[in-house]
């Protein structure tokens, strides 16, 4: 929900809810990027080997 930009269904009224949503969105973004990099690293490594980029 947070990564797609839809946002919460109901408006958050308390400061605790707003802080939780802020930290959760930062955590979700970092987790999404980290997992994406872990899955795409072997593919990028193979492409670099195909182009002999290590020289």
Instruction: Check residue 15 and give its pLDDT.
Output: 96
For 15-55, write each residue's pLDDT tens digit: 999 998 888 888 888 998 999 999 999 999 998 888 886 66
Mean pLDDT across the stretch 2-25?
A: 82
Residue 28 lies in domain: 1-6+13-55
38 close to 13: Cβ distance less than 8 angstroms: no
**CA atoms of 6 and 12, how far apart (whole Å):** 14
pLDDT of 39: 96
The pLDDT value recorded for residue 53 is 66
pLDDT grade for 10, boundaries at 50, 70 and 90: confident
Number of domains in the chain: 1
**Lookup result for tokens 């195909």:** 50
**What residue has token string 């795409």?**
40
DSSP conformation letters of 9-31 = SS---SHHHHHHHHHHHHHHHHH
Q: What is the pTM of this model?
A: 0.67
């Amino acid at each position: 929900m947070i990564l797609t930009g839809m946002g919460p269904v109901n408006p958050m009224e308390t400061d605790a809810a707003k802080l939780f949503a802020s930290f959760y969105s930062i955590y979700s973004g970092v987790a999404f990027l980290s997992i994406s990099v872990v899955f795409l690293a072997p593919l990028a490594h193979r492409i670099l080997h195909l182009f002999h980029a290590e020289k």
